[in-house]
Amino acid sequence: MLFSNATEELKSRFFNKVGATDFSNDKCHIWPAAKSGMGYGYMQWQGKVEKASRIMWSLYNECDIPDGMEIMHLCDSPSCVNPAHLSVGSHKSNMRDMIRKGRHRNGSKVKTLGYVNDLKMAAI
């Protein structure tokens, strides 16, 4: 229920971090602030840590994400917050997309920046 609770403060904080409001091009807009080990952007809002991609989708589409749905990264970059690269899907459709694109940990290739960073850190 992000959009329902969105205020000008949230919008200002969020877009100041993103550093862009024009998303008409096709490039990824990488979240520059806090990230998980897998590369997903995070931001605290109203005492709760929220994924940056969920905040962006809600603000850009001016509606809440339906209950039980996830935000899928069509570009396969977990740090991307370009709304053109984000879509809503079920957990099942998100997992199917991940497997189809070979991004699962048991697959022959893993493209996520966060996973690569985790591997680099483990080697240190």
| Number of domains, the chain | 1
User: What is the three-class DSSP state of 42?
Assistant: strand
Go through 106-124 and write b for each residue having 16 or more CB atoms within 10 A of its CB, e for each that does not.
Answer: eeeebebbbbeebeeeeee
Find out whether 39 and 51 touch, Cβ atoms under 8 Å: no
Reported as type and span, the H/E element at residue 100 is helix 91-100
CATH number of the domain that 8 lies in?
A: 3.90.75
pTM of the model: 0.76
Range of the domain at 88: 3-123
The residue that leads in pLDDT, 18 or 1, is 18
The string of pLDDT tens digits covering residues 59-96 is 888 889 999 999 999 998 999 999 999 999 999 998 99
| Angle formed by the axes of helices 8-18 and 52-61, nearest 10° | 120
The token pair that represents 31 in the structure block: 């979240």
Per-residue pLDDT tens digits for 7-19: 888 888 898 898 8
